[in-house]
Structure 1
């Protein structure tokens, strides 16, 4: 049986250590701050995560670019030339053309490597929701599951990876066209914090509003209580836009409410690709649920 590689992209927001432990191949998306372009490596080698959010706080804005077909072709050819198959788990097609680039690259390479399996899965996930999805699939690989078994699991499981998040600064959502300027103005005046999630098409959808920061963070845990499957036994991921204390507050509430061991809750930065659109102060909670 041929060996295979799990390939993903840096919008998964896993730590570099976790990606290495899972033996993942990770292609970086890119982003611009001012005139400077950076690649979003998981180790922040070109621009550190703290420095990125400091730039946002200083008034600079970030724009992002998807991974192009050529970058996927080069990495896929490198893997295929080693006699290995590929399971590519990509950033949501609802937010980026990265998935489309991966699918085109796979189609282009199949005639060149007819004996190879090249599977491309639209994760419909983002940030550490994508990270959790990849982590689950990589765990099955380590357990000895075949590429076809993991593909079947992935296509079903992606509809159960719940993404719930809130932002502290409404102006980034306004710039991204997610809310109107009027909504941003009055929401800021009244300390209204939107609670959003990812739908089954991989789009960001506003769901509700909370009055004040703590209430919005507790709403994330309320949604987990409503939807999660065996929360005490799950591995939970939380990402944050340079507001670790708020992410830790959510983690502590999960442990208090459900008994989830703290070592089963992983907290990491939102990377610059997602962070360019959410701004500082975003907190996102990811878990497996009965539905999204």
Structure 2
């Protein structure tokens, strides 16, 4: 049985320290800001990216590059490693289909190779938790097939709730109408969204006021955990350059669930281009999406 590597994409929003420590392979998603394409060797810091958005620059995004995918996979195959790739939602990007096509081509050219692609139907640290669980199981001695089977079986137990601070970016991405965005902004309404069973980001409700919207996604998390409340060993908070709000959520979680590990990281520019500065996501394991 060959050894294997776990790979994912930059939209999983995992901390760079974790990626390096666990030797996770990363396939980049791209964004263009001010006429410059970022995502490969050249990148902005999260602070630089969100500050430029606040100054009025509007980024565009691009999915993963098929040539980069093929080269990344081939490099691991050349080392006699199989690959478990954990992908950004096919419901939000064409990147997953690019990865599946690349994996299929590489396996046709290398009959002894095995590449398993998991479509998480999730995003940000909701995707990242898949990676964390896969790494834990690999370190316990589980095989690539055992890990892939577990992830597929529990796919709908990885939950992600979001709220955003500025409705304009949702309107620009076609999630809400221009009229809804205008009225909502005037009334200080904050949408609550979640990633559904098809992997799409869909509105759930609207709440007036920022702090109340944060408390609402926390309450949704508690309600959705169900029987996973005790088994949920990690809860993730993703934020669009809003560290104070992330710490507020962390305090709420620690008061209710003092023994849980909490991971906080910034939302990657490829996702943040659509959610904007101030977006906050809660990612965890629950009984349902």
Name the counterpart of 2:125: 128
The 1:233–1:163 alpha-carbon spacing in structure 2 relative to 1, beyond 3 Å, is closer
Within 5 A, what are the aligned runs for 1:29-48? 29-39=29-39, 46-48=43-45
**Alignment partners' CA distance in 2, 1:93 and 1:260:** 34
**Alignment partners' CA distance in 1, 2:231 and 2:249:** 15
Q: 1:48-105, CA deviations, whole angstroms, 9 ceiling, x for partnerless residues?
A: 1100000000000111110122111111111001111011111100011111011101
Does the residue aligned with 1:110 lie in a helix, a strand or coil? Answer: helix
**Alignment partners' CA distance in 2, 1:51 and 1:57:** 10
Does the residue aligned with 1:221 lie in a helix, a strand or coil? Answer: helix
The answer to whether the aligner puts 1:163 opposite 2:137 as a matched pair is no
**Alignment partners' CA distance in 1, 2:278 and 2:254:** 22
The 4+ residue runs of structure 1 with deviation greater than 6 A are none
Unaligned runs of 5+ in 2: none
**Alignment partners' CA distance in 2, 1:71 and 1:149:** 28
Name the counterpart of 2:75: 78
Unaligned runs of 5+ in 1: none
CA apart distance, 1:28:
1.2
Alignment match of 1:57 (pick from 28, 41, 54):
54
Name the counterpart of 1:15: 15
Q: 1:163-192, CA deviations, whole angstroms, 9 ceiling, x for partnerless residues?
A: 001000000001000000111011011111
Name the counterpart of 2:247: 248
Q: 1:256-289, CA deviations, whole angstroms, 9 ceiling, x for partnerless residues?
A: 122244xx10111111011000000101000000
**Alignment partners' CA distance in 2, 1:88 and 1:175:** 31
CA apart distance, 1:109:
1.3
Q: State the TM-score, normalized to the length of structure 1.
A: 0.96
Does the residue aligned with 2:8 lie in a helix, a strand or coil? Answer: strand
How many pairs are equivalent? Answer: 287
Do the aligned residues in 2 keep the contact of 1:8 with 1:25 (CA within 8 Å)?
A: yes
